[in-house]
């Protein structure tokens, strides 16, 4: 899998035990030095046991410290992840231009980090699953509700049998009718929204394929997901939640829609052409 260990550390940082956080702090603060340090030297520098370092490496998807060091050599800190840990918080004294620059940079960073950490075998298989689904259901509440509705609209426009539910009662009614051949896509930034997590759990019980779109690899929703795609946001605390994460979630869903549309391109092209013909009457001349 192609991903940067720094991006993965950044994403899972808040959920790490205190000892592993100290190791993560040292790695994030001295990424260029890590490939030169033995596990003993890193343990000494971070004031942690070597076993704590190994647990951290395994928690973020590596077999051990040696693999993490190889990853850092492959994706060095002075390339796409050089701004790891630099969080451009907005402040009441920022002018409009500064705010725009910080928000745009936040989105750019989230898209870059998400793409660098994407599980490509998982994404390829999920594309095939969605293309062959009997029905596709999108679920989300709060800030994820609009993403679920937008995904439904886009997938429906390319001719796929999609629907969306953003109300907890409707979600339960939808999931009650699901079964083998259906796909349930739960969208949740934190991955812990009760309604969305419970809906995905019930969908799995009914025999549907389950998909999670979230920002945290170790979040509860992934316990019930056959496939999970993780967006890596920088978690800036704006007055509104998950600004950069929402951009990354939209990009993931859009990319999936395009990839699925090309699985049966002749049929998709015919359907899209018909959509254009029908919608042409709704546009001003």
Q: Is the pTM of this model over 0.85?
A: no
Residue owning tokens 């992934």 = 222
Asked if residue 23 and residue 155 are part of one domain, the reply reads no
d(CA 272, CA 135): 19
Based on the domain organization, do 233 and 179 belong to the same domain? yes
Question: Residue 47 maps to which CATH number?
Answer: 1.10.10.10
Backbone φ, ψ for residue 86 (5° rounding): -95, 100
pLDDT value at position 242? Answer: 59
Residues 130 and 220 in one domain: yes
Are 132 and 69 within one domain? Answer: no
Domain assignment present for residue 84? The answer is: no
pLDDT of residue 115: 86
Residue 90 placed within a domain:
no
What pLDDT shows up at residue 86? 40
Q: Specify the pLDDT at position 94.
A: 87
Ranges of residues in the chain whose predicted pLDDT is under 70? 1-4, 75-89, 233-242
Same domain assignment for residues 243 and 122 = yes
Domain check: are 57 and 132 in the same one? no
Residue 42 falls inside a structural domain: yes
Whether residue 11 contacts residue 216, with contact meaning beta carbons closer than 8 Å, is answered with: yes
Q: What is the dihedral of CA 268, 112, 58, 190, to 10 degrees?
A: -70
Q: Is the CB of residue 164 less than 8 Å from the CB of residue 148?
A: yes
Asked if 66 and 122 sit in the same domain, the reply is no
In a domain, residue 109? The reply is no
Paired with 137 in beta bridges are 163, 184
Last residue of a domain, one of 20, 47, 74: 74
The CA distance from 29 to 281, in Å, is 58
- Of 47, 74, 101, the position where a domain reaches its end is 74
| Tokens representing residue 71 in the block | 């990853």
Please provide residue 88's backbone torsions phi and psi, each rounded to the nearest 5 degrees: -80, 75
3-class DSSP assignment, residue 253: helix
Contact between residue 49 and residue 253 where contact means Cβ atoms under 8 Å apart:
no
User: CATH no. for residue 247?
Assistant: 3.40.50.10490
Helices vs. strands in the chain: H and E counts, helices first: 12, 5
Q: Coil, strand, or helix at residue 87?
A: coil
Is 133 found in the same domain as 20? no
Six-digit token string for 86: 């630099």
8 A C-beta contact, residue 137 and residue 164 = yes
Express as a percent the part of the chain with pLDDT over 70: 90
pLDDT of residue 99: 86
Task: Read off the pLDDT of residues 25-84 as tens digits, 9 standing for 90 and up.
Answer: 999 888 888 999 999 999 999 999 999 999 999 988 888 999 899 888 876 554 444 443
> In the chain, what's the furthest Cα-to-Cα distance?
72
17 and 145 in a common domain: no
136/273 same-domain check: yes
User: Does 183 map to a domain?
Assistant: yes
In the block, tokens 């993965």 appear at: 8
Q: Can you give the pLDDT at residue 107? A: 84
The domain in which residue 48 lies consists of: 5-74
Strand boundaries in the chain, DSSP class E: 135-139, 162-165, 182-188, 209-214, 227-230
What pLDDT, on a 0 to 100 scale, did the predictor assign at position 259? 96
Element (H, E) at 266: helix 265-279
Tell me: do 152 and 233 sit in the same domain: yes
Alpha helix locations (H) across 83-228? 96-117, 120-131, 145-157, 168-176, 194-205
* 204-220 residue pLDDT tens: 999 999 999 998 888 89
Same-domain check for residues 227 and 158: yes
């Amino acid at each position: 899998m192609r991903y940067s260990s720094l991006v993965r550390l950044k994403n899972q940082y808040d959920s790490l035990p205190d000892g592993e956080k100290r190791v993560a702090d040292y790695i994030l603060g001295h990424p260029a030095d890590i490939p030169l340090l033995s596990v003993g030297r890193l343990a000494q520098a971070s004031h942690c046991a070597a076993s704590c370092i190994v647990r951290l490496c395994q928690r973020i998807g590596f077999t051990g410290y040696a693999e993490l060091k190889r990853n850092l050599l492959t994706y060095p800190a002075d390339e796409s992840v050089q701004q790891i840990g630099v969080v451009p918080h907005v402040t009441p004294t920022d002018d409009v231009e500064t705010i725009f620059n910080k928000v745009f940079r936040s989105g750019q960073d989230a898209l870059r980090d998400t793409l660098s950490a994407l599980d490509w075998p998982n994404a390829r298989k999920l594309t095939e699953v969605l293309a062959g689904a009997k029905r596709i259901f999108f679920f989300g509440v709060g800030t994820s509700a609009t993403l679920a509705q937008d995904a439904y609209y886009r997938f429906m426009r390319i001719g796929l049998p999609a629907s969306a539910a953003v109300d907890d009662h409707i979600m339960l009614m939808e999931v009650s009718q699901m079964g083998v051949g259906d796909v349930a896509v739960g969208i949740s930034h934190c991955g812990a929204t009760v309604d969305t997590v419970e809906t995905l759990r019930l969908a799995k019980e009914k025999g549907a394929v389950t998909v999670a779109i979230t920002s945290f690899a170790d979040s509860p929703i992934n316990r019930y997901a056959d496939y999970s795609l993780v967006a890596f946001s920088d978690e800036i605390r704006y007055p509104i939640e998950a600004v950069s994460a929402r951009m990354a979630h939209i990009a993931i869903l859009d990319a999936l829609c395009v990839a699925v549309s090309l699985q049966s391109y002749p049929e998709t092209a015919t359907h899209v052409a018909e959509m254009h013909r029908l919608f042409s009457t709704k546009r001003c001349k």
